[in-house]
Amino acid sequence: MTSIASVQPPGMATPQGHYSPGIIAGGFVFVSGQLPMDPATGQVVPGGIEAQTERALRNVELVLVAAGASLDRVLQMTIYISDGDKWGAVNATYAKVMGAHRPARAVVPVSPLHYGALIEIQAIAAAPR
């Protein structure tokens, strides 16, 4: 039987909903949708879509690191954006953070997101070796 472990990054607020920030199971790390919340304040970061995209990706990274993985082990990401017209700015920031690594990806326009966030990102990564 496959073991299953929850992931709660140190310094990240415990979710208010009934879920874990991440789950390790079957050789994968499943990262719940991450909003652009500042881990220190618990508030959506100011600064527009670029700042929110980077913060959401860094929150994904916090969960991955707590699971012993990293952004370069991401296999698939799903990006939810509240305004499809902001896709160019999201993509540019995503490319800056992800570098040469290009996981499979879907972008889904939605509205509205919780707490007035402009973006939410979930991921599936290969678990640590």
| pLDDT value for 13 | 87
The arithmetic mean of pLDDT across residues 52-67, rounded, is: 98
What CATH number is attached to the domain comprising 22?
3.30.1330.40
Contact status, residue 13 vs residue 39, Cβ threshold 8 Å: yes
Rounded to an integer, what is the distance from CA 105 to the centroid of its chain? 12
Q: Residue 110 — pLDDT band, cuts 50, 70, 90?
A: very high
Return the pLDDT at 2: 75
Show the beta-strand stretches assigned E in 87-127. 104-109, 119-126
pLDDT at 1: 63
d(CA 60, CA 115): 18
> pLDDT band at 71, cuts 50/70/90?
very high
- Note whether 118 and 86 are within 8 A (CB): yes
* Cα–Cα distance, 37 to 95 (Å, whole number): 20
**pLDDT tens track for 29-47:** 999 999 999 998 999 999 9
Query: What total number of domains does the chain contain?
Result: 1
73: amino acid identity, one letter: R
Q: What domain range is 115 assigned to?
A: 4-126
Token output for 124: 């599936």
Q: What pLDDT does 14 receive?
A: 86
Locus of tokens 């220190």: 40
